[in-house]
């Protein structure tokens, strides 16, 4: 789609990254980000709401602004860029996630658990991630735009590496690409409509992100006010979660195009609702880069001063102040370090002329084939480019495996040498796992070769949460390559029993009625006919969910080496009752939308003590004839304020399985 209401041709032909204009725009970016985030933080909610807000000034304010993950995480990424250098990748960023990010909200926690299990980006962002379409990555795009100003293609590739750590394969990646393209281009483009057109070139036309942005553009172009435009976006891309990325991309676009000044842009965006701190912060950074700090109204920016607030005091972010490269504490320091980072990135990309000047053509601001190639990358393929022979590992469908069922992976080896090479490929496996045959391959010069592996998976007694295999590549006549990991995640062992519901009985009566699977004290001999299943990730499989007029029991076991205080969530969309070790946890007679994160809502989440050894979790799910189907997720995290995932809690076996 072409945004046809471009009102000017105001595109600068060059930018001096050593000059005062660049510094002014850098400061404007972060002042705007802070202002929008501070305006939106007090009214942020977890669920989307039908009606807009009516907020036109800061509900709460303090020097430095309100602490916000949108801003402080990017300070960590700045440190990563400085320490690693301009060839920074998602695998580098994964280390900074685990070292520095303490909170585990939504996709943050799910992806960090994947990293701790041994999965690498992009698989860490794609597997078992209900929030793959949410706002975690679009909110942290400014750092890459500031490091690659007026070079959105370069900035977008950094934003992509960032996004796939916790959102691979989802709309959030597109949101990150859209935001960073607008922000990078805004260093030389002052026309708001042109900026949106540039941003749209960085996302697929078929995406929900593009659909939401186009709905916003069309509404404003039709002369609708911001409230009517908001309704258009919600109709185009409906979702019940406030952090759903496409909707927020649309709301940011409304705030940018419908506003006449900075304060109005922030207020309109926040009043649209949903992820208010994130969308408000982003539109603030857009405006701040376009206008520069000197042109932002003092009424909106003076309350912050030069300080930067973070969540380090309680551990939300960690090790910001210590180490060899502490993060900036003031805006002038942010600007100074970003100027240096931009020089480093742009020199590495050979984008500077005359020492510090970027020459810009309008065509270079739009996406090219190198960006469109990002859209088609497989979120289940891990590449190891640093090895002598570039190797990738592609999971067939999922990194999860089920006991006794073979799984399949494909390894691709690329020979960068000018001569053919002969390779010996061998997989090593955990103790007790059958080992696939060794392969001998010959690869022509500058060619690639695919090797398909069938990996036998043992029975449950040998299956763990994380099962680590290694690919050994031995090249005749070359030094030994390091072993490359192939991590397989053990599916959870669950079993289910069905009981027909008495027609006409309401859910309350069905929840109270004691059916055969509830009776008895021995978990191994509960009554009824049970079917064993394997659950990939946190979601219960479809076979474990109730059909119309059905009561469905689900049993699973949690193994703890030592007693653990845990936060347990049974996030069910329908009526549910749950017991842990025979003690009733809750009984909930309702239907609702789910939002399965570690912290969760109060409804269906409870703090428990897991005893040393085996713990039985028994769940009862009820569905009446006229009720829609509903999902159910099981989640376990620490019972403190951080809600760290618990990847060490065993879930791959039943209590009666043999343990080697």
The pLDDT tens digits for 492-535 are: 999 999 999 888 889 999 999 999 999 988 899 899 999 999 99
Find residue 177's DSSP bridge partners. Answer: none
Q: Which residues pair with 475 in a beta bridge?
A: 423
Give dist(CA 463, CA 490) in Å, integer.
Answer: 6
Residue with tokens 């099962």: 467
Burial class, 480, CB count within 10 angstroms (exposed 0-12 / middle 13-18 / buried 19+) = exposed
Q: Do 40 and 56 meet the contact criterion of CB atoms below 8 Å apart?
A: no
Report yes or no: 658 and 460 within 8 Å, Cβ to Cβ.
no
Q: What is the pLDDT of residue 5?
A: 62
> Helix and strand tally (H, E) in the chain?
18, 20
Residue 6 has pLDDT above 60, yes or no: no
pLDDT higher than threshold 60 for residue 232: yes
- For residue 8, pLDDT over 60 is answered with no
Query: What pLDDT sits at residue 131?
Result: 98
pLDDT in tens, 296-349: 999 999 998 899 999 999 999 999 998 888 999 999 999 999 999 999 999 999
* Nearest-10 crossing angle of helices 276-291, 245-258: 40
If you ran DSSP here, which 8-state letter would residue 420 be given?
A: -
Domains of the chain plus CATH, in order, are: 14-35+54-208+295-375 (1.10.4080), 381-489 (2.60.40.10), 492-638 (2.60.120.380)
* pLDDT above 70 coverage of the chain, percent: 98
Q: pLDDT at position 387, please?
A: 74
Which residue carries 């040998």 as its tokens?
462
Whether the model clears a pTM of 0.85, i.e. scores above it, the answer is yes
Q: Which residues pair with 48 in a beta bridge?
A: none
pLDDT-based confidence at residue 102 (cuts at 50, 70, 90): very high
Question: Could you read off the pLDDT of 15-49 as tens digits, one per residue?
Answer: 999 999 999 999 999 999 999 999 999 999 999 99
Is 488:469 a contact under the CB 8 Å cutoff?
yes
Among candidate residues 131, 112, 128, the one with its CA nearest the CA of residue 120: 112
Across residues 116-136, what is the average pLDDT? Answer: 98
pLDDT greater than 90 at residue 658: no
On average, the pLDDT of the chain sits at 95
Residue 1 has pLDDT above 50, yes or no: no
Residue 454 clears pLDDT 80, i.e. is over it: yes
Q: How far is CA 467 from CA 11, 119, 403, 412, 651, in A?
A: 53, 10, 12, 21, 13
Give the model confidence (pLDDT) of 532-559 as tens digits. 999 999 999 999 999 999 999 999 999 9
Asked if pLDDT for residue 660 goes beyond 60, the answer is no
Are residues 506 and 516 in contact, defined by beta-carbon separation less than 8 angstroms?
no
**Positive or negative CA dihedral for 378, 132, 557, 649?**
positive
Q: What is the mean pLDDT of residues 381-400?
A: 92
pLDDT for 157 = 98
pLDDT in tens, 419-446: 999 999 999 999 999 988 999 999 999 9
User: Is the C-alpha dihedral spanning 202, 207, 213, 218 positive or negative?
Assistant: positive
Residue 659 pLDDT exceeds 70: no
Q: Please tell me the number of Cα atoms within 13 Å of 283 on its side-chain side.
A: 35
pLDDT in tens, 234-272: 999 999 999 999 999 999 999 999 999 999 999 999 999
Say how far residue 559 (Cα) sits from the centre of its chain. Answer: 28
The pLDDT, as a whole number, for residue 64 is: 82
Class of residue 362 by CB neighbours under 10 A (exposed 0-12, middle 13-18, buried 19+): middle
CA dist 284 and 299 (Å) reads 14
Mean pLDDT on 396-420 = 95
Give how far Cα 586 sits from Cα of 495, 538, 540, 570, 590, Å: 20, 19, 19, 10, 12
Task: Judge whether 360 and 14 are in contact, CB under 8 Å.
Answer: yes
What distance in Å separates the CA atoms of residue 354 and residue 189, rounded to the nearest whole number? 22
Contacts of 85 (CB under 8 A, 6+ apart): 344, 348
Q: Is the pLDDT of residue 448 over 80?
A: yes
pLDDT in tens, 163-173: 999 999 999 99
What is the C-alpha to C-alpha distance for residues 550 and 544, in angstroms, rounded to an integer? 11
Residue 72 pLDDT grade (very low, low, confident, very high; cuts 50, 70, 90): very high
**First-last CA distance in the chain:** 60
φ, ψ of residue 539 to 5 degrees: the values are: -80, 135
Report residue 305 as tokens.
Answer: 């001063």
Q: Residue 176: enclosing H or E segment and its boundaries?
A: helix 171-185
Q: Closest Cα partner for 108 from 140, 82, 143, 155?
A: 140
Provide the H-helix boundaries in 387-437: none
pLDDT of residue 10: 74
What was the pLDDT predicted at 504?
A: 83
């Amino acid at each position: 789609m072409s945004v046809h209401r471009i009102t000017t041709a105001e595109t600068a032909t060059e930018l001096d990254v050593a000059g005062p204009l660049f510094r002014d725009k850098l400061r404007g970016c972060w002042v705007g980000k802070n202002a929008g985030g501070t305006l939106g933080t007090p009214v942020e909610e977890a669920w989307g709401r039908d009606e807009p807000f009516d907020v036109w000034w800061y509900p709460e304010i303090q020097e430095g602004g309100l602490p916000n993950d949108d801003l402080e995480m990017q300070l960590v990424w700045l440190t990563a860029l400085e320490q690693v250098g301009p060839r920074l990748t998602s695998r580098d960023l994964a280390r900074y996630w685990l070292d520095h990010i303490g909170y585990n909200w939504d996709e943050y926690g799910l992806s960090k658990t994947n990293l701790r299990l041994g999965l690498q980006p992009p698989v860490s962002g794609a597997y078992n991630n209900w929030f793959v379409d949410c706002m975690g990555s679009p909110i942290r795009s400014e750092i890459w735009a500031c490091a690659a100003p007026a070079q959105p293609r370069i900035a977008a590739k950094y934003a992509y590496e960032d996004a796939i750590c916790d959102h691979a394969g989802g709309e959030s990646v597109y949101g990150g690409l859209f935001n960073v393209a607008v922000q990078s281009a805004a260093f030389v483009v002052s026309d708001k409509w042109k900026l949106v057109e540039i941003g749209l070139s960085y996302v697929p036309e078929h995406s929900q992100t593009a659909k939401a942005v186009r709905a916003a553009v069309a509404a404003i172009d039709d002369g609708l006010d911001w409230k009517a435009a908001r309704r258009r976006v919600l109709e185009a891309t409906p979702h019940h979660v406030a952090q759903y990325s496409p909707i927020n991309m649309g709301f940011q676009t409304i705030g940018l195009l419908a506003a006449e000044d900075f304060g109005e842009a922030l207020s309109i965006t926040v009043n649209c609702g949903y992820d208010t701190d994130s969308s408000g912060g982003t539109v603030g950074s857009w405006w701040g880069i376009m206008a520069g700090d000197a042109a932002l109204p003092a009424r909106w920016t003076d309350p912050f001063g030069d300080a930067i607030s973070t969540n380090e005091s309680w551990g939300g972010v960690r090790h910001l102040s210590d180490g060899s490269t502490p993060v900036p504490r003031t805006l002038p320091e942010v600007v100074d370090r970003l100027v240096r980072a931009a020089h480093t990135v742009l020199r590495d990309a050979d984008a500077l002329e005359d020492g510090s000047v970027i020459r810009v053509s309008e065509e270079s601001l739009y996406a090219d084939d190198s960006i469109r190639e990002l859209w088609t990358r497989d979120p289940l393929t891990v590449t190891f480019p640093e090895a002598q022979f570039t190797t990738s590992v592609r999971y067939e469908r999922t990194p999860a495996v089920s006991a006794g069922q073979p799984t399949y992976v494909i390894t691709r080896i690329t020979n960068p040498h000018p001569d053919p090479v002969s390779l010996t490929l061998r997989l090593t496996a955990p103790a007790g796992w059958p080992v696939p045959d060794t392969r001998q391959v010959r690869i022509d010069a500058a060619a690639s070769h695919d090797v398909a592996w069938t990996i036998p998976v043992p029975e449950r007694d040998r299956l763990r949460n994380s099962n680590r295999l290694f690919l050994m590549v031995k090249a005749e006549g070359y030094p030994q390559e390091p072993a490359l990991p192939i991590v397989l995640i053990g599916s959870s062992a669950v079993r289910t029993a069905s009981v027909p519901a008495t027609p006409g009985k309401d859910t309350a009566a069905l929840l109270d009625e004691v059916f055969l699977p509830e009776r008895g004290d021995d978990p191994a001999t509960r009554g009824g006919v049970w079917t064993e299943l394997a659950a990939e990730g946190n979601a219960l499989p479809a076979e474990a969910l109730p059909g119309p007029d059905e009561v469905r029991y689900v049993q699973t076991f949690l193994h703890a080496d030592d007693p653990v205080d845990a936060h347990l969530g049974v996030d069910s969309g329908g009526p549910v009752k749950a017991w842990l070790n025979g003690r009733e946890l809750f009984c909930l007679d309702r239907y609702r939308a789910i939002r399965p994160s570690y912290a969760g809502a109060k409804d269906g989440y409870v703090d428990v003590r897991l005893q040393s050894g085996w713990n039985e979790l028994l769940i009862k799910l009820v569905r009446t004839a006229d009720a829609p189907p509903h999902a159910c997720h099981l989640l376990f995290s620490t019972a403190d304020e951080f809600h760290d995932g618990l990847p060490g809690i065993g879930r791959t076996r039943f209590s009666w399985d043999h343990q080697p």
